[in-house]
């Protein structure tokens, strides 16, 4: 059995053709028709690095150490790739990694830093694998950001795109791509990183097929992460009428913790929420859906989704053409969602609304008995590493905290989990929260603060009525707090069984 793992970045769960007919994702839709859609899939953290580290360790961010953006996954932590390599598999990552920060220090060095992006000799002479991947070809930036590289930059140069710098803006304007270019990125499609990822993934698939090798291959697409920019014809694919507009509902934040309320105040002082002088994600895009650029941003965002779907379709075609599809587990998901203006918020952020912690998820398993189905079975992205290994008949390391979901993937059992956990730790004294989600309720606790959130996802699916301080929900809150405590105690892996009394 092989594994093809396909991910996007910052992809709202609604932005799939099977959830929102106005959005065009024909290739992911056909994958869903041959597999299973998981409607209750959750990330362990609503930001990139922590969840991406969980995707290769099977551990929660509080366990593997990459607990926030700007931290790194320690190289000493065992990974999924290590286990596959020990079993004789080829392991490949092409696209975005983001296991490390963009800045390096003497104590915590990072290879994913612009210091190395243009240094071809550095990468050609770099020995050893990268977090268990024996082949890794990386791109660190998003759309027209200044950070271009490393391997994507080399590919552009090798393809003869000598003017590639013309398509990327200076670092001073790194977060103003959509405003400067109105969401239309002048880069030609044949030079886009989607094309690079597709070409390189398909080449590796052919290589593995010719050699008869078993493989774990991660195709990691950077879109539709902000900033919002995409080349034509994708930039003009969607009209204003296609946009699913989301707004803040008047009064919805009245019972919410103070940070929620501050996001809706253009004059709010966020100095208490800075980390090393840097604003926390989400706070600065206040009253986002009211912004005059909202429509153009979402048109570009939808176009990024559809362009990425087009690239994924070429990879699925290659897998079938090589005769590998019948012996390959295919999983598609993303690392976290996007607010899309709901609750008056943009992009990602510290709050655990469904928009950012629930993710699109499709699994297609050889021998599956229920293709074309949907399930409400709760699943966490920490479950993927043990599931990938178990699906290939390989032992699951005791260091992993996730569950083996192959019985659910194959349709042999309807569910395994009765809850999921989501963590988020920007800084201890302001934004440090943990969330417990079960089939109906969601409870969020803020470390060091009396405020919190309690949502009834059945009666209040839009999360507009926080019941944390509602006297009628006091008993339920106590029950959920105990369940959260039990879940936290039960998540830790046991590296070895207890073999004797002492």
Per-residue pLDDT tens over the stretch 122-161: 999 998 999 999 999 999 989 998 889 999 999 999 999 9
Q: Is residue 492 assigned to a domain?
A: no
- CA end-to-end span of the chain: 41
What is the rounded distance in angstroms from the CA atom of residue 408 to the CA atom of residue 414? 6
What is the rounded distance in angstroms from the CA atom of residue 279 to the CA atom of residue 285? 11
Q: Residue 177's pLDDT is what?
A: 58
Q: Is residue 479 assigned to a domain?
A: no
Q: Residue 488's pLDDT is what?
A: 97
Structure pTM?
0.96
Q: Is residue 481 assigned to a domain?
A: no
CB-facing half-sphere around the CA of 39: CA atoms within 13 A: 8
- Residues 6 or more apart whose CB falls under 8 angstroms from that of 438 comprise 378, 418, 419, 480, 483
Of 128, 91, 97, which Cα lies nearest the Cα of 389? 91
- Whole-angstrom CA distances from 164 to 44, 144, 190, 192, 193 are 36, 11, 12, 10, 12
Cα dihedral sign for 12, 14, 18, 20?
negative
Q: Residue 347's pLDDT is what?
A: 82
Q: Are 429 and 448 in contact (CB under 8 A)?
A: yes
Strand partners, 364: 330
What is the rounded distance in angstroms from the CA atom of residue 409 to the CA atom of residue 3? 13
What's the pLDDT band for 428 if we cut at 50, 70, 90?
low
CATH of the domain at 284: 3.40.720.10
Q: Residue 429's pLDDT is what?
A: 63
- Whole-angstrom CA distances from 138 to 56, 152, 153, 362 are 16, 7, 9, 24
Q: Is residue 482 assigned to a domain?
A: no
DSSP 247-267: -PPTTTTTTS-HHHHHTT-TT
Q: Is residue 475 assigned to a domain?
A: no
The answer to whether residue 290 scores a pLDDT higher than 70 is no
What's the pLDDT band for 315 if we cut at 50, 70, 90?
very high
Q: Is residue 395 assigned to a domain?
A: yes
What's the pLDDT band for 278 if we cut at 50, 70, 90?
low
The answer to whether residue 218 scores a pLDDT higher than 60 is yes
What's the pLDDT band for 284 if we cut at 50, 70, 90?
very low
The answer to whether residue 99 scores a pLDDT higher than 90 is yes
What is the rounded distance in angstroms from the CA atom of residue 346 to the CA atom of residue 184? 19
Q: Is residue 213 assigned to a domain?
A: yes
What is the rounded distance in angstroms from the CA atom of residue 180 to the CA atom of residue 202? 34
Number of structural domains the chain divides into: 1
CB neighbours (10 Å) of residue 459?
A: 10
What's the pLDDT band for 285 if we cut at 50, 70, 90?
very low
The answer to whether residue 293 scores a pLDDT higher than 80 is no
Q: Is residue 434 assigned to a domain?
A: no
Q: Are 101 and 112 in contact (CB under 8 A)?
A: yes
CB-facing half-sphere around the CA of 275: CA atoms within 13 A: 16
Q: Residue 275's pLDDT is what?
A: 57
Residue-range definition of the domain harbouring residue 57: 2-417
Q: Residue 305's pLDDT is what?
A: 98
Strand partners, 328: 2
Mean local confidence (pLDDT), 392-412: 96
What's the pLDDT band for 282 if we cut at 50, 70, 90?
very low
Q: Best-predicted range by mean pLDDT among 172-186, 226-240, 260-274, 306-320?
A: 306-320
């Amino acid at each position: 059995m092989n594994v093809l793992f396909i991910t996007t970045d910052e992809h709202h769960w609604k932005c799939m053709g099977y959830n929102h007919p106005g959005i065009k994702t024909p290739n992911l839709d056909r994958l869903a028709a041959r597999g299973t859609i998981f409607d209750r899939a959750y990330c362990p953290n609503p930001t990139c690095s922590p969840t991406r580290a969980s995707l290769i360790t099977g551990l929660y961010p509080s366990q593997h150490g990459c607990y926030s953006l700007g931290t790194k996954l320690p190289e000493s932590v065992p990974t999924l790739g290590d286990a596959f390599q020990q079993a004789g598999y080829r392991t490949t990552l092409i696209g975005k990694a983001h296991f490390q920060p963009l800045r390096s220090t003497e104590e915590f060095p990072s290879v994913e830093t612009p210091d190395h992006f243009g240094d071809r000799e550095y990468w050609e002479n770099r020995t050893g694998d990268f977090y268990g991947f024996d082949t890794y070809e990386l791109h660190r930036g998003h759309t027209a950001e200044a950070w271009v590289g490393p391997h994507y930059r080399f590919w552009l140069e090798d393809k003869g795109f000598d003017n590639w710098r013309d398509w990327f803006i200076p670092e001073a304007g790194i977060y103003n791509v959509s405003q400067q270019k109105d969401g239309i990125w002048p880069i030609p499609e044949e030079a886009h990183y989607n094309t690079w990822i597709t070409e390189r993934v398909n080449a590796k698939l052919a290589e593995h097929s010719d050699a008869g090798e078993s493989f774990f291959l991660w195709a990691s697409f950077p879109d539709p992460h902000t900033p919002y920019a995409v080349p034509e014809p994708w930039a003009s694919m969607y009209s204003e009428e296609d946009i699913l507009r989301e707004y803040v509902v008047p009064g919805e934040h009245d019972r919410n913790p103070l940070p929620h309320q501050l996001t809706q105040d253009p004059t709010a002082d966020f100095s208490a929420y800075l980390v090393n002088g840097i604003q926390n994600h989400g706070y600065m895009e206040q009253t986002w859906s009211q912004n005059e650029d909202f429509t153009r941003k979402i048109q570009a965002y939808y176009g990024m989704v559809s362009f990425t779907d087009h690239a994924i379709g070429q990879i699925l075609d290659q897998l079938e053409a090589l005769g590998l599809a019948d012996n390959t587990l295919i999983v598609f998901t993303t690392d976290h969602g996007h607010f899309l203006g709901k609750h008056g918020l943009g992009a990602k952020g510290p709050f655990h609304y469904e928009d950012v912690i629930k993710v699109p998820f499709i699994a297609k398993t050889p021998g599956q008995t229920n293709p074309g189905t949907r399930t409400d079975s709760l699943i966490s992205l920490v479950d993927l590493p043990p599931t990938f290994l178990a699906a290939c008949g390989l032992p699951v390391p005791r260091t992993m905290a996730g569950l083996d979901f192959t019985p659910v993937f194959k349709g042999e059992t309807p569910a395994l989990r009765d809850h999921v956990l989501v963590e988020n730790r920007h800084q201890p004294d302001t934004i440090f929260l943990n969330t417990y989600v079960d089939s109906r309720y969601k409870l969020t606790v803020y470390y060091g603060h009396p405020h919190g959130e309690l949502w009834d996802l059945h009666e209040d699916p839009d999360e507009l009525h926080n019941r944390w301080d509602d006297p009628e929900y006091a008993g339920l809150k106590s029950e959920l707090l105990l369940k959260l405590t039990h879940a936290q105690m039960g998540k830790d892996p046991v590296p070895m069984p207890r073999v004797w009394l002492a």
